[in-house]
Amino acid sequence: MPAPEPLERLTFDAATLVAEHPPVLRHTNKLVVMSVACAEGCGHSGTVGYTRWAAMPLPDHVDPGAGGTVVESRPTIYDYEPVDPQAVEWHVNFADPLLFYAYGSGLFAQDEMQSAEHPVLGSLVEALRVGPHRAVTEDDSGPTPVLVMGVERKCHVATDSNESQGRPRGLYGNEFSAASAEVVRRATTRVEPPTITNIIALAAPSYGVGAYTREQIEHILVTAYTGFSAAVAESATICTGAPVVVHTGYWGCGVFGGDRVLMPLLQLVAAHLAGVDRLVFHTTTAADGAEPFEEAVSIVDEALSPAGGMSAGELLDTVVAMGFSWGMSDGR
């Protein structure tokens, strides 16, 4: 079966991209982060690859238990440390339908954190806005995940609670915009030399009410399957035969109110179906983050992996029958 082809494919020289399309930062604290990440004379290097992908149909027959994906969890947020030096590694961006749309605002959830630590992403958005291409991860046709390859990570912003550093409630979400510039400056550490990140931007459904419908569950699974399959295909263009590692977490489970068992469950299934070699799930903390993920793993192993597999329709029906319901937005 031939490898899928993206709807759009663009390549940018990073230095030229930033020079011609500088990020537009509308909040003082984002400017503070940028001043540390891109101190005068630091420059930008490398090539940034952008692709956008049409939704891929699920396989007729699915067998998550035979997928061969190694699954592990880490009680952390993304630290971008590689888990396999021989692999091509990817990090999921918990995206809005508008690609990195709030990168310049005072917001600081997962999407905005990633954009702040990888400042060339703002330039990518600005370049796409003035061209004929669409900076969206979803359109009227359905999900259109975006992959961005070769992005320099130029800083790290500490968001943990640290009273001695002036952030007793951390810097995640609305706490970032409320913090003083000095607190944000102390929390920001330049990464020198920059590391390189590959990103899968996936838009999650948002603000649902009551039980998940079959249509919603299928939409989520197709979104993750498409993004992960695209990452497998693009990894082969970097290094043929290299293992593919995907880092993810509670995608869509914060402000969007997604179920903390269903969302990892569907990502696990998608990783198996897409042929991802290793899925690293970041649970944020060990105290309260691991349990929903472990429940999702158990469901995939015990309820969704019968001998011989099942049809994609049967899998969706099985998940629907489990009665997952939307949660509440965390308001952050």
Q: What is the pLDDT of residue 254?
A: 85
Question: Which distant-in-sequence residues (6+ apart) come within 8 Å of 196 by Cβ?
Answer: 46, 150, 151, 152, 153
Phi, psi (5° rounding) for residue 311? -75, 160
Q: Could you tell me how many residues make up the chain?
A: 332
CA atoms within 13 A on the CB side of 155: 27
Report the C-alpha gap between 196 and 44 in whole angstroms.
12
Query: pLDDT tens digits, the chain, 332 residues: what are they?
Result: 566 899 999 999 999 999 999 999 999 999 999 999 998 778 899 999 999 999 999 999 999 988 789 999 999 999 999 999 999 999 999 999 999 999 999 999 999 999 999 999 999 999 999 978 889 999 999 999 999 999 999 999 999 999 999 999 999 999 999 999 999 999 999 999 999 999 999 998 887 899 999 999 999 999 999 999 999 999 999 888 999 999 999 999 988 889 999 999 999 999 999 999 999 999 987 667 899 999 999 999 999 999 889 999 999 999 999 999 998 877 55
Query: Structure tokens of 246?
Result: 């995907």
Q: What is the pLDDT of residue 332?
A: 59
CA distances from 149 to 13, 47, 121, 169, 282 (A): 12, 8, 11, 33, 21
Task: Report DSSP state, residue 211.
Answer: B
Q: What is the pLDDT of residue 2?
A: 64
One-letter-per-residue 3-state SS of 115-179:
HHHCCHHHHHHHHHHCCCCCCECEECCEECCEEEEEEEEEEEECCCCEHHHCECCCCCCHHHHHC
Report the C-alpha gap between 144 and 138 in whole angstroms.
5
pTM > 0.85: yes or no: yes
Token look-up 């699915």 returns 62
Query: Structure tokens of 140?
Result: 């009227």
- Reply yes or no: is the peptide bond before residue 193 cis, omega within 30 of 0: yes
Domains of the chain in sequence order: 8-321 (3.40.220.10)
Q: Residue 81 pairs with which residues in a beta bridge?
A: none
Question: Which distant-in-sequence residues (6+ apart) come within 8 Å of 163 by Cβ?
Answer: none
- Contact status, residue 155 vs residue 191, Cβ threshold 8 Å: yes
